Structure 1
Amino acid sequence: MRSMTGFSREDASADWGRLELELRTVNQRHLDLNFQLAAPLRSLEPAFREQLRGRIQRGKVDITLRYFPEQQEGALRLDSDRLEHLQRAMEEVEQRIVGIAQPTTLDVLQWPGVIASSAANAQALEEGAVALFQQGLEALEQAREREGARLADIIRERLGAIEQEVAAIRALLPSIIERQRQLLVERANAASLDLDEHRLGAEVAMLVQRADVAEELDRLTSHVSEIRHQLGSQQPVGRRLDFLVQELNREANTLASKSVVKETTHRAVELKVLIEQIREQVQNVE
Structure 2
Amino acid sequence: MICSMTGYAVKTRDLERGTLQLELKSVNSRYLDFHFRVAEDLRAMEIPVRELLAARLSRGKIECRLSFNAAAARGEQLKINGDLLNTLRELGTKVSETLPDAAPLSVNEVLRWPGMFGEQGMDFAALGPEVLALAREALEDFTATRAREGAKLSAMITDRVNAMRGIVRDVAPRIPEVQAAFMEKLRQRLLDALGNASDDRVLQEVAVFATRIDVAEELTRLNTHLDEVERILKAGGACGKRLDFLMQELNREANTLASKSAVTEVSQAAMELKLMIEQMREQIQNLE
What TM-score comes out, normalization by structure 1 length? 0.86
Confirm whether residue 13 of structure 1 aligns to residue 14 of structure 2. Answer: yes
TM-score (norm 2): 0.86
| Structure 1 residue runs without a partner (length 5+) | none
| Alpha-carbon distance between aligned partners in 2 of 1:60 and 1:74, rounded to the nearest angstrom | 40
2:103 is equivalent to residue 100 of structure 1: yes
Q: Is the 8 A contact 1:40 1:113 kept in 2?
A: no
Q: Secondary structure at the match of 2:235?
A: coil
Which segment is superposed worse, 84-93 or 248-257?
A: 84-93
- Residues 1:234 and 1:173: Cα distance change in structure 2 (over 3 Å): closer
1:280 maps to what in 2? 282
- How far did 1:41 drift? 1.6
Q: CA deviation at 1:235?
A: 2.7
- Number of residue pairs matched by the alignment: 283
Give structure 2 stretches of 5+ with no counterpart.
none
Match of 2:225 in 1: 223
Distance 1:88 1:218 in 2: 79
Would the alpha carbon gap of residues 110 and 205 (structure 1) be closer, same or farther in structure 2, given more than 3 Å must change?
A: closer
Bigger mean CA offset, 144-153 vs 4-13: 4-13
Candidates 125, 130, 133, aligned match of 1:131 = 133
Quick check: 1:220–1:251 contact (8 Å CA) kept in 2?
yes
CA distance in 2 between counterparts of 1:217 and 1:250 reads 12
Q: In the aligned structure 2, how far is the partner of 1:234 from the partner of 1:184? A: 49
Change (3 A) 1:84 1:33: farther
Q: 2:171 maps to which residue?
A: 169
Once the two structures are superposed, residues 7-32 of structure 1 have per-residue CA deviations (whole angstroms, 9 ceiling, x without a partner) of 11222213122223221010011111
Residue 68 of structure 2 corresponds to 67
The answer for the alignment partner of 1:35 in structure 2 is 36
Q: CA RMSD in A?
A: 2.9
Amino acid at match of 1:65: L
Q: Judge which range, 220-229 or 65-74, deviates more.
A: 65-74
SS for the counterpart of 1:55 is coil
Q: What are the within-5 Å matches in structure 2 for residues 42-81 of structure 1?
A: 42-69=43-70, 70=73, 73=76
Would the alpha carbon gap of residues 180 and 3 (structure 1) be closer, same or farther in structure 2, given more than 3 Å must change? Answer: same
Give the Å deviation of 1:79: 11
CA contact (8 A) 1:77 1:117 kept: no
Asked if the contact 1:23–1:140 (Cα under 8 Å) also holds between the matched residues in 2, the reply is: yes
Partner of 2:250: 248
Query: Partners in 1 of 2:28 and 2:274 — Cα distance?
Result: 23
Report the alpha carbon displacement of residue 109 of structure 1 after superposing the two structures with TM. Answer: 6.0
Counterpart of 2:54, as a letter, is: R
Per-residue deviation at 1:123?
5.0
Structure 1 distance, partners of 2:210, 2:87, is 83
Alpha-carbon distance change, 156 to 60 in structure 1, aligned in 2, over 3 angstroms: same
For 2:182, the aligned partner's letter is: Q
